[in-house]
Structure 1
Amino acid sequence: MRSKKVGAGIEILGLEGPVSPLVYRSPAGATELVTACSGRLTRWDIESGRPTREFQVPENASTGTFELTALLLPDRQVRIAAGEEDGLCLWDGASGRLLADAVGDDRIFQITGGLAGAGRTSLVGTGVKGLHLWNPVTGAPLTSPLEHVGDVVAVTLAKLRGGSSLIVTGDYEGVRRWQGDLCESSFGAEIDAPHIDMLTTVYTADGRPLIVGVAEEGEVVCRWDAETGEEIGPPIPVEGEFVRIATATVSGRIRLFTSDQDVVRQWDLLSGESRKQAFEGSYVSAVSLPDGSALLAAGTMGGKLSTHRLV
């Protein structure tokens, strides 16, 4: 393994297998970089590309590459979460200690976390058995898996401008919005979008929540107003086999990143306009920075990690 500075970013070569990156801002304001590769989780120095910490991993992890989510708790602790074939894995973001090992006895497709109603923090995941809710501090299940109308695959949280929050789920028929910690009631009509693979939420400059989803078996990315369900602009054609997405704000505009087949492309999220500059990578993560720029991290199937400062 070797690392080097490349422009305003770093490049790490020689990792073993597909590299899934995670970049996020710590409670102290630092930009953190963690990767999952061949069942190992590693934290890296964002400036030099040197490894700084190895996370404790399950001895019998059934997946080689965890796709990671960072969750900042109200007490300024950080949790790193990932789903695998046997359930939830949860780590302390500071020490790298494994807090929950394959909790849930289910194959977990996607995990999201964040503030829900009344300042509570939620950790939610989708699985074969339904929708899972876990204690974000310990990873303990809060309830049995919630049955879902369809085969739930994707999930995100959305905070509405009025203060209430939604759990948004995606399945092979469309996008559904739910109110309540246990999805006690539906919100609005189902959003018609076939075969949802992944969901995330972004917020415009005026605080409007938008749902962003990979639909039609990875052929398009769609955007909807989380409050009204109205589609924002035409679908963005991506035509991939297993598209992953990330978003960040660059110079006041929300940028969408799509990755598949070791190519990361950029789009203006609101207009849908494609940007010319592309990067190498099949796994992608991005974070907005206080100075108006953003940091993009991309990992390839062949063991390469790179970061890029976007202005």
Structure 2
Amino acid sequence: MRSKKVGAGFEIAGLEGPVCPLLHCSPAGATVLLAACSGRLTRWDIESGRPTREFQVPENASTDTFALTALLLPDRQVRIAAGDEDGLHLWDGVSGRLLADAAGGDRIFQIAGGLTSDGRSLLVGTGVKGLHLWDPVTGAPLASPLEHVGDVVAVTLARLRGGSSLIVTGDYEGVRRWQGDLCESSFGAEIDAPHIDLLTTVYTADGRPLIVGVVEEGEVVRRWDAETGEEVGLPIPVEGEFVRTATATVSGRIRLFTADQDMVRQWDLLSGESLKQTFAGSYVSAVSLPDGSALLAAGTSGGSLTTHRLV
């Protein structure tokens, strides 16, 4: 393994296997970089590109890379969550201690975290058995897996401007919005979108929540208003069978980053305009910075990781 400065970022090469990065903010506002690679989960210093902590990883972890999610709890604890073929893995984001190992006993496709309408933290995950709900403090299940009308694949949480919260799920037929911690009632009409692979929520400058979805086996990214279900702009064409996404605000505009088999591309999220600058990578994470810039981390399938400052 070797690390070197490259412009305003750094490059780490010589890692084994695909590298999945995660950027998030600490309770103190500092930027934290984690990277999953070959069954290891490591924290890196974003200035020097040097490893600072190894997280405790379960021996039975069955995938080379985790799809990582970070959640800052109301009491300022940090949780890092990931899912694989065995279930949910949950870590204390500060100490790296493993808190839950293979919780749920199910193959987990996607995990999302957020707050309910009454301000409690929640982790949700999609699996073969249905929709899972976990306590993010301990990783304990809050209910048996919820049956879904379709084979639930993707999930995100959205907080509406009026204060209520939604659990948004995607399957091979469309996007569905649910109210209540246990999805007690549907919200609005089903959004027609074939074969949802990935969902996330983005908030505009005025607080409007947008649902962003990778649709039709990675062929396009579509955006919908979470409150009305109306589509925002035209579909954004992307490439690759397995497309991963990230978002961050740069100079007051929200950017969408899409990673396919070997390239990270940039888009203006609201207009759909393609930006020329690209980066090598199959995995991507991004975080907005207080000065109006953003930090991007791109991991490749060949064992390298780069960071880039975007202004």
Normalised by the size of structure 1, how large is the TM-score? 0.99
Which residue of the partner structure matches residue 62 of structure 2?
62
Q: C-alpha distance in 2, partners of 1:115/1:60?
A: 30
Which residue of the partner structure matches residue 39 of structure 1?
39
- Offset at 1:239? 2.8
Which residue of the partner structure matches residue 238 of structure 1?
238
1:267 paired with 2:267, answer yes
- Offset at 1:64? 1.2
Q: Secondary structure at the match of 1:118?
A: coil
Post-superposition, which runs of at least 4 consecutive aligned residues in structure 1 deviate over 4 A?
Answer: none
Q: C-alpha distance in 2, partners of 1:38/1:88?
A: 18
Q: C-alpha distance in 1, partners of 2:201/2:67?
A: 17
- The one-letter code matched in structure 2 to 1:93 is G
Q: C-alpha distance in 2, partners of 1:210/1:61?
A: 33
Aligned length: 311
1:141 paired with 2:141, answer yes
Which residue of the partner structure matches residue 119 of structure 1?
119
Q: C-alpha distance in 1, partners of 2:60/2:161?
A: 43
List gaps (5 residues or longer) in structure 1: none
CA contact (8 A) 2:239 2:260 kept: no
Which residue of the partner structure matches residue 191 of structure 2?
191
Q: C-alpha distance in 1, partners of 2:65/2:261?
A: 16
More displaced stretch, 232-241 vs 100-109: 232-241
Q: C-alpha distance in 2, partners of 1:136/1:103?
A: 11
Q: Secondary structure at the match of 2:34?
A: strand
CA contact (8 A) 2:160 2:208 kept: yes
Which residue of the partner structure matches residue 282 of structure 1?
282
Residues 46-125 of structure 1 aligned to structure 2 (within 5 Å): 46-125=46-125
Q: C-alpha distance in 1, partners of 2:268/2:123?
A: 29
Q: C-alpha distance in 1, partners of 2:256/2:60?
A: 35
List gaps (5 residues or longer) in structure 2: none
Which residue of the partner structure matches residue 297 of structure 1?
297
- Offset at 1:269? 0.2
Q: C-alpha distance in 2, partners of 1:309/1:71?
A: 23
Which residue of the partner structure matches residue 130 of structure 2?
130
- The one-letter code matched in structure 1 to 2:146 is L
CA contact (8 A) 2:159 2:165 kept: yes
CA contact (8 A) 2:3 2:10 kept: yes
- The one-letter code matched in structure 2 to 1:162 is G
Which residue of the partner structure matches residue 8 of structure 1?
8
Normalised by the size of structure 2, how large is the TM-score? 0.99
- Offset at 1:11? 0.5
- Offset at 1:115? 1.6
CA contact (8 A) 2:161 2:208 kept: yes
Q: C-alpha distance in 2, partners of 1:268/1:61?
A: 36
- Name the % identity: 87
